[in-house]
A and B are shown apart, each in its own frame.
Chain A
Amino acid sequence: MRYTLASLDLWILIAVLGLAAVGLMANFSTSYAEGELEFTHFYRQLIWSAIGLVLMMSAITIPSKYYQTFAYAAYLLGILGLIAVLVIGQSGMGAKRWIGLGIFQFQASEIAKLTTLLGVARFLSDFPRDRDKIWVTLTAVGLTVLPMGLVLVEPDLGTSMVYPMMLFCVLAWSGAPLWHLLLLLCPIVAVVTSWNTTLYVVTLVAMLIIIFLSSKRFIPVILAAGILVVIGSATPILWNKLHPYQQKRLITFVDPESDPLGSAYQLIQSKIAVGSGGLTGKGFLNGTQTQLKFLPEGHTDFIFSAWGEEFGFIGTSGVVVLFLVLFYRGIRLASKCHNPFFAITAAGIVSMLVAQALTNLFMTVGLLPVTGVPLPFISYGGSSLLTWMMISGVLLGISLRWRDY
């Protein structure tokens, strides 16, 4: 069968290319701010963009069926990569994240996002009739927790947080019963509500009722109650066993304003950068926060603030719209696929992308704690960009062939 360019989902293609272009401009600006006359990191990003385009086109060209066929193999390779990082990896900033690959180094945790998704999607699509079985859901959880744990011990907290969000969305999309999802939420709910007894009791009761209504059985209710009670009562005890400095670190993570010269410094400078951009921005290369380096991590985690300062609300809403297009067209594609593997993979890709993008964006505008998650397509970094281009290629490949399966 012959495919033409027009058979692709052009909206997705345009959004991906648009975001990569924004990334290049923003990197030019932060490169300029670094005072690098050779624009070292801009040129690197440019080269990676070119390689990324090739990777994306390769990923489109490969028949989508192959992803399904080799999903488990890819999953295993991803796990091996993560283990290799821990064994032979090179340290950077106190964490092992890199594998030397000759000319450049590769961050295994980035590519593992795609391989994990493929593995989980393959597993869920292999048991279409057992979606409502708890063992299927738990196996999917296990398949996700394994790479996530490996990323967490590197340690790379920001990247590891993408895994549970992706898993949750994938399970929801694949048709897992509501009570499975609620059961997965139980530990988080328990930790969050255990600070306030009233809130804790009310939430606990509400959760148990919904779980019962959803499952019509008592075992899940007992299970959920067990999790809620054990974790909910253990949290305050564990908290008191922490050293004061550990408590302080957790508090400043949740509430950075309590440490205005430390973690809040980044946040405050980021908000100033974005806010001072105004409606139209200060102009390309004219952002004082960025160019005078008041904005820390301007080319990686806080690149959106640099963009927002120089291009204003018009620029930031442009980027938000591009992500929104990816989200809408991706979900739309997932809902059209008859093949469960493709549907789940497409939904997983979109959830992963949106989860990571929103985590970063909410962080830069001061709505989420600073975790160190790069902004897909835009933040400086080869591994991240190449992985996202490849993932986009997979999504575009599916948009080309979804009718065939």
Chain B
Amino acid sequence: MRSGKVGSESIRLWSFLVIGALLFGALGMRLFQLQVLQWQEFRNKSDSNRFRLIEIAPPRGVMRDHKGRLIVTNRPSYTCYGVPHELWRDKRGIALLNAALHMPPGFLENEVIKPYRRTFAPMRLKRDLSFSELSAFEEVRDQIPGAFLEVEQKRSYNGKLAAHMLGYVSEVSKEELEKFPDVLTGDLVGKRGLERIYDSALRGVKGRRFSVVNALGQEVAEAENLKRIDPVAGKELWLALDLDIQALAESLLVDQIGAVVAMDVRSGGVLAMASSPTYDPEIFAGRIDAAQWNALLEDPDKPMLNRAVQTMYPPGSTIKMAMLTEGLESGKITPTWSISCPGHYTVGNRTFKCWKKGGHGHVVPLRAIEASCDVFFYKLGMTIGVDGVHDAMARYHLGQATGVDQTSEAEGLRPSEAYYNRRYTPSGWTRGFIPSISIGQGEVLVTPVQMCAYVAALANGKEWRQPHLVEGIFDPEAQSLKRIRWAAPQPLNASPENIELVREGTRRVVWGDHGTARRQQDDLVHIAGKTGTAQNPHGDDHAWFVGYAPYEDPIVACCVLIEFGEHGSSAAAPVAKEIMKRFVLLEREGESQTAEAVARPH
């Protein structure tokens, strides 16, 4: 019995030992497999856990005016990031964060995090935190381990200055992602204006580095042994713009609807381009909320519209210099060609009025411009025909896009006989269309920038220059400037005598006894120009003034359009005079300073 007992006991002992040994053996083999055989595989996995490729955003190129002053820069802003998986575990933390970031109740939890709750990669929760959001976040950050801040560069504009022309940047859209190869979701790209047109130059080239992150995706250190590629800063835009003139133009447009374009006659560079009402481009660089966006879109005054290039108006009487140039150049009239203005003119069964009820009496070309006699131009139009009016506009590139570096430029309208036949089937073209378009009403449409280039061409007397905002692109890394080759000047193909006659007419608009802009006489800077009134079937007429200064040796041209301004002489001309005068005086000041500097002995 005793031995049997011993036997069963030893079986028991051995089965314990054998089972134990098997279990420990299995564990040992498993450890050998993981740590010795598959070591490399797991080491790679642990490396990819902790190393993260971080893109380094290059600073976006700044923009400067023609004196080198900064118009658009970048400033640091705080963006709140979060790891959705981590945040999702603590709903109370989400609520705290939601309140700190000033979001609508439940927005963060349901709209932002919930769809990504299984994601470990950090995602952007809110850009450009305000100071109060930042301090509210700092207060609760200990209780929200899944959220952290990152500094990012934000586009900084000079308030609303030149908003339309500069454009803005905003998060890339799905369509744009397909168009630009090296842009990723969440990147900011230019959407309008210069930001859009020169986006690729401004953007720069992203750099990259590897960083060591913890399980929350928070950066712990930079990985030392992996190569860092520095970003290439975006290129600078050097503009023809003059900050002072731009600011002045905008201040003169306050509370009005309209546009101003001022150009340097010598180069075609745009000194100022303003449109009113305006908006703050900075709101787009952050997270724009739907209410702000809708308010902008639904505003009946359309603040997003750049009226200087995107809106078409009939030129009114400002077309008359083009008409006269064409009449003289075609040889159909001479400088002494004269008409009699009784205050109205009849074609077929239609009567067209002159703006002056009693009529102008005997009118020669010079007088026609000075006093803006409509009957003279009705008759001139009938003389040169509809295609003559077309050619008159074509000579000065009116009714066609100028190619200025702006987005969505409107073309305008320059009718020909073929156009009327197409448009008014079946009756087609009749001579009754001519009088209206001869004085710039009806189916002739231009943009303010076209008008400015037109009057600038008249000012220099020889050629039409393409208006443009950017003179050159400066590479801050290479310290080199690449000038942009704008279209070569287009000759006006007009004799100096004829041009001189037209120019004299514009001088008399201001300085003559019957001039429509006599109130703009200024002894310091002599300006010349032409008023205009665009008939507006929807309300009060729009007021135009196009002009240049100084008359003797023009350096600046300016076009002003005031919607519902009624009279060019009262609404638009004073604005244009202020702008041109300021620029001429600033130029003279600069010249005298340079002269002094040269004269002063060192």
Nearest-Cβ distance from residue A332 to partner chain B, whole angstroms? 8
- With A323-B24, A324-B24, A331-B16 as known contacts, state yes or no: A278 contacts B36, CB within 8 Å: yes
Q: A172-B12, A288-B49 are in contact. Are A293 and B31 (CB under 8 A)?
A: no
Q: Which of B212-220, B240-248, B395-403, B520-528 contacts A (4 or more CB under 8 A)?
A: B212-220
Distance of A135 from chain B, by nearest CB (Å)? 21
Number of residues on chain B facing chain A (CB within 8 A): 38
On whether the beta carbons of A293 and B216 are closer than 8 Å, the reply is: yes
Flag if A365 contacts B118 (CB, 8 Å). Answer: no
CB of A310, distance to nearest CB on chain B (Å) = 12
CB of A312 within 8 A of CB of B35, answer yes
A175 to B38, CA, bound (A): 43
Is the beta-carbon distance between A292 and B220 smaller than 8 angstroms? yes
**Contact indicator B9/A335 (Cβ below 8 Å):** yes
A158-174 CB contact bits vs B (8 Å, 1 = yes)? Answer: 00000000000100110
A-chain residues with CB within 8 Å of residue B9 when the two chains form the complex: 175, 335
- Give residues of chain A (344-368) contacting chain B, Cβ–Cβ below 8 Å: 347, 354, 358, 361-362, 365, 367
A288 to B220, CA, bound (A): 11
Given A278-B39, A308-B31, A358-B27, are A273 and B46 neighbors across the interface (CB < 8 Å)? Answer: yes
Interface string of A268-284 (1 = CB under 8 A from B): 01011111111100000
**Closest CB of chain B to A308's CB: distance in Å?**
7
- Of all chain B residues, which has the CB nearest A268? B45
B30 & A365 in contact (Cβ 8 Å cutoff): yes
Nearest A residue to B46 by beta-carbon distance? Answer: A276
With A313-B36, A320-B24, A331-B13 in contact, is A276–B8 under 8 Å at CB? Answer: no
Cα-based distance from A279 to B17 in the complex (angstroms): 28
Q: Which of B16-70 contact A (CB under 8 A)?
A: 16-17, 20, 23-24, 26-28, 30-32, 34-36, 38-39, 41-43, 45-47, 49-50
Q: Convert A167-198 into 0s and 1s, putting 1 for each residue whose CB lies closer than 8 angstroms to a CB of B.
A: 00100110100000000000000000000000
Q: Is residue A405 contacting chain B, with contact meaning CB distance below 8 A?
A: no
B213 proximity list for chain A (CB < 8 A): 292
Q: CB-CB < 8 A to B85: which residues of A?
A: 261
- Residues of A in contact (CB 8 Å), total 40
The 8 Å CB contact of A289, one of B12, B49, B212, is B49
Q: Which B residues are in CB contact (< 8 Å) with A175?
A: 8-9, 12
Partner of A275, one of B8, B13, B38, B214: B38
Interface of B is mostly: helix
- Contacting pair A331 B46 (CB below 8 A): no
Chain B residues with CB under 8 A of A278: 35-36, 39, 43
Residue of A nearest to B42 (CB): A275
Asked if A294 and B50 sit within 8 Å, CB to CB, the answer is yes
- Known A308-B31, A313-B32; contact A292-B24, beta-carbon cutoff 8 A: no
A239 within 8 A of B: no
Q: Which of B26, B27, B215 contacts A293 (CB 8 A)?
A: B215
Once the chains bind, are A365 and B34 in contact (CB under 8 Å)?
yes
CA distance A309 to B39 in the complex (A): 11
> With A276-B39, A316-B31 known to touch, is A292 a contact of B12 (CB < 8 Å)?
no
The majority secondary structure among interface residues of chain A is: helix
Which among B8, B17, B49 is the interface contact of A294 at CB below 8 angstroms?
B49
Say whether A328 faces chain B, with CB atoms less than 8 Å apart: yes
**Distance (whole angstroms) from the CB of A328 to the closest CB of chain B:** 7
Q: Which of B17, B32, B49 has the most CB of A within 10 A?
A: B49
Instruction: Give complex CA distance A354, B27 in Å.
Output: 12
Contacts of B24 in A (CB 8 A): 320, 323-324, 327, 358
Q: Judging by beta carbons under 8 Å apart, are A294 and B215 in contact?
A: yes
Residues of A near B50 (CB, < 8 A) are 288, 292, 294
Inter-chain contact A365/B31, CB cutoff 8 Å? yes
Measured in the bound complex, the distance between the Cα atoms of B45 and A274 in whole Å is 11
> Is the Cβ of A274 less than 8 Å from the Cβ of B215?
no
When the two chains form their complex, are residues B12 and A274 in contact, meaning their CB atoms are under 8 A apart? no
Task: For A261, give the chain B residue with the smallest CB separation.
Answer: B118
- Say yes or no for A317: interface residue by CB 8 A criterion: yes
A138 to B41, CA, bound (A): 50
User: CB distance A276 to B31 under 8 Å?
Assistant: no
The interface residues of chain B lying within 8 Å CB-to-CB of A272 are: 42, 45-46, 49
Query: What residues of B have a CB within 8 angstroms of the CB of A275 in the complex?
Result: 34-35, 38-39, 41-43, 45
Q: 8 Å CB contacts to A: which residues of B182-220?
A: 212-216, 220
> A327 to B43, alpha carbons, bound, how many Å?
32
- B34: chain A residues at CB < 8 Å are 271, 274-275, 365
Residues of A within 8 A of B216 (CB): 293
The closest CB in chain A to the CB of B50 belongs to A288
Q: Is the CB of A292 within 8 A of B212?
A: yes
Give every chain A residue within 8 A of B49 (Cβ-Cβ).
269, 272, 288-289, 292, 294
B35 touches A279 (CB 8 A): yes
Q: How far is the CA of A323 from the CA of B34 in the complex (A)?
A: 20
List chain B residues, Cβ under 8 A from A293.
Answer: 214-216
Q: Which residue of B lies closest to A324 (CB)?
A: B24
Q: Is the CB of B31 within 8 A of A367?
A: no
When chains A and B are docked, how far (Å) is the Cα of A303 from the Cα of B205? 45
- Whether A292 and B39, one on each chain, are in contact in the complex, defined by CB atoms closer than 8 angstroms, is no
Across the interface, do A277 and B35 meet the contact criterion of CB distance under 8 Å?
Answer: yes
CB 8 Å contact bits of B215-251 with A (1 = contact, 0 = none): 1100010000000000000000000000000000000
B45 touches A320 (CB 8 A): no
- The 8 closest A-B CB pairs, nearest first, are A275-B42, A276-B46, A313-B35, A292-B214, A275-B34, A276-B42, A278-B39, A293-B215
Q: List 7 A-B contacts (CB under 8 A).
A: A172-B12, A173-B16, A276-B45, A292-B50, A308-B31, A320-B28, A320-B31
A residues bordering B, Cβ < 8 Å? 169, 172-173, 175, 261, 269, 271-279, 288-289, 292-294, 308-309, 312-313, 316-317, 320, 323-324, 327-328, 331, 335, 347, 354, 358, 361-362, 365, 367
Known A-B contacts: A276-B46, A331-B13. Give 6 more (CB < 8 A): A275-B43, A276-B42, A279-B35, A292-B213, A331-B20, A367-B26
